[in-house]
A and B are shown apart, each in its own frame.
Chain A
């Protein structure tokens, strides 16, 4: 970057501020303010029905969460969800991207098809899958036709969370496939040409060119998907309501219940901030692990 360009970039015309102001305002009102407000709330006993009676509790909400068995159940379920889906989502997305990178007839159709779940409302997806998992639904019928006893899917505490996870892998892979496709396209063709000249097999090209070059993409996918998965809520809300026997209660679902069914906004905020700390920690570990400064995109 030339010195002149840097200077030009650093200068903010009044027009810049005016044009940016709607966005900045929205950021302050809808992100920064709630972010700070909920942090403050986490130290209070606060009911939205009677805000005047709010009481300062110090760290009591946090202490209560750490002693609350359902908080731990929710956290355990959330972590099972995160670590149980991400390897599958990531490998499926990468596999799809590799398969759909080459030109072949109908490629765009498949690309669009796998991406489709991303643009469909997750509520709609959840409702459809709830039907698929129904005892009279097609999945049970399929199992029966194969001579198997169909699992109870969402009704069995042992399979309910796994059923939601399977749906999530299907629904989320398309989005990360597109990210991987973008990453793949950024890899210079010359590298493959050179490798081909040296007689590298396709596995060697994947192992020594594609995967290392995709490192920034991996990091982005992992961090974004972890942050998203730690906040899993809608699927649970629509499909199981946290049941049966709390087997699908996740952290955000639990804090939602505390906030909007039990009106304990302070306690819910404390849970939110505990989850936030965990999210930060996980992102930090991922960045360290992939030894990169951060995603470029």
Chain B
């Protein structure tokens, strides 16, 4: 059982050794230690470009893995041996920011705010602790062949809840292992991102404007959950990778999924005839095409050794050109800059362009220090409703009570 603590200590010692060695002056160049999660072949060309423009800075990039990266950053923070610049996921971000681990970038980022998509993602308690780098959202993926088979219009995607429901019903009725709509379950930190687009689109919210209480128990969210449950009855409930697999095999009519499919589909299902559309809204005259917005932020730590170098690198990475370069290589994320959709790359890729368009109405999660607990609470209760363990109304009320209790925790850092 002490494997955990062993691992933590081991990684902190490793971090110490690595940063300790890395800090040794090899040349007159100033060093910027940068930790990030993108594969080296995607990020390196961007860093090479930075090196060309900034010959006085030597970037020491280290690639983290999604399996252990957060642990490593956590251990490094505990040990005080932090990198100068670090990529942080938007759901982890509020914890780091609210506990004073990150450098306050309010002044430096202020002039850039107007050109940024989702600038609020970096704001905690009115201050900016980072720079949005690349962002991602979820949109509706629909199978045109199945729509045709079910006698539906294939010239346009479903735009409203009733249209989506009708399509799911008809496709689900095709039989032969084909399901109408894919609802997520059986894993964490996914279901929320597929449920709340309907909640937000219907005018639902999570927290009160001051962030000190829950606003989740609303008619709007209840209607959204009822809708999701109806979709579930006209489709299948499964894990994300299974839903993606079924979609690529032509066995799933529609699902809300992410841009990672743009890399997978050409490789695994090059003949799939599919479309990408904004998440349907409740009715033509009501609601919005909301979706979940998440992303990666660049942040420096309060204890970073080279804050100015970190800021220079961050500003470059988040710039339109650099971010586009990375996003084109990666395809799963979009630049967090206004007007990226105008780029020739997206003009020639309509499905990927929908993702950029979807970002405009996508909603980031609240930057509350207890956010991950709140997300778990929503997923717990929504999943119970999906499995028929409680009614939609009870699920919404219970989730709201739990969120409220978490929001009222006056000093979340002490938890």
Residues of A within 8 A of B (CB): 29-31, 33-35, 37-38, 45, 47-51, 53, 55, 134-136, 154-155, 157, 160, 230-231, 240-246, 252, 255-256, 259-265, 268-269, 272, 275-276, 279
Contacts and interface: CB of A to CB of B under 8 A. Distances in A.
Nearest to B245: A136
A47 B411 CA distance: 13
Given A45-B414, A48-B77, A49-B101, A269 B5 contact: yes
30 contacts: A30-B6, A34-B5, A34-B6, A45-B414, A45-B415, A47-B99, A48-B8, A48-B74, A49-B96, A50-B101, A134-B245, A135-B236, A136-B242, A240-B186, A242-B188, A243-B187, A244-B185, A244-B383, A245-B380, A245-B387, A256-B4, A259-B4, A260-B70, A263-B74, A263-B95, A264-B415, A272-B2, A272-B5, A275-B1, A276-B1
Given A135-B238, A243-B185, A34 B8 contact: yes
Contacts of B389: 245
Nearest to B80: A51
A88 B242 CA distance: 30
B30 interface: no
Interface of A, secondary structure class, is: helix
Interface of B: 1-6, 8-10, 13, 70-71, 74-75, 77-78, 95-96, 99-101, 185-189, 236-239, 242, 245-246, 249, 251, 372-373, 380, 383-384, 387, 389, 413-415
Nearest to A33: B9
Given A30-B10, A155-B237, A261-B372, A37 B245 contact: no
A46 to B, nearest CB: 9
Contacts of A49: 74, 77-78, 95-96, 99-101
A31 B2 contact: yes
Given A29-B9, A135-B242, A264-B415, A154 B188 contact: no
Considering the complex of A and B, which 8 residue pairs feature the smallest CB-CB distances, nearest first? A48-B78, A34-B5, A38-B5, A49-B99, A50-B99, A241-B188, A49-B101, A244-B186
A268 B71 CA distance: 14
A15 B236 CA distance: 67
Contacts of B6: 30-31, 34
Nearest to B12: A48
Contact of A34 (B9, B95, B100): B9
Contacts of A160: 186
A231 B1 contact: yes
A187 B77 CA distance: 55
Contacts of A33: 9
B101 to A, nearest CB: 4
B65 to A, nearest CB: 12
A252 B1 contact: yes
B294 to A, nearest CB: 15
A241 B2 contact: no
A252 B96 CA distance: 24
Q: Most chain-B CB neighbours within 10 Å: which of A30, A157, A261, A275?
A: A261
Q: Most chain-A CB neighbours within 10 Å: which of B10, B75, B414?
A: B414
A246 B415 contact: no
Contacts of A272: 1-2, 4-5
Given A34-B5, A35-B2, A155-B186, A245 B384 contact: yes
A102 B238 CA distance: 47
A47 B188 CA distance: 23
B2 A154 contact: no
Contacts of A252: 1, 4
B373 A34 contact: no
A96 B78 CA distance: 48
A272 B101 CA distance: 26
Given A30-B9, A160-B186, A276-B1, 14 more contacts: A35-B2, A48-B75, A49-B100, A49-B101, A50-B100, A53-B413, A155-B185, A155-B238, A157-B387, A240-B186, A244-B387, A262-B373, A263-B99, A279-B1
Nearest to B177: A136
Given A34-B8, A136-B246, A246 B99 contact: no
Nearest to A153: B186
Contacts of B1: 230-231, 252, 272, 275-276, 279
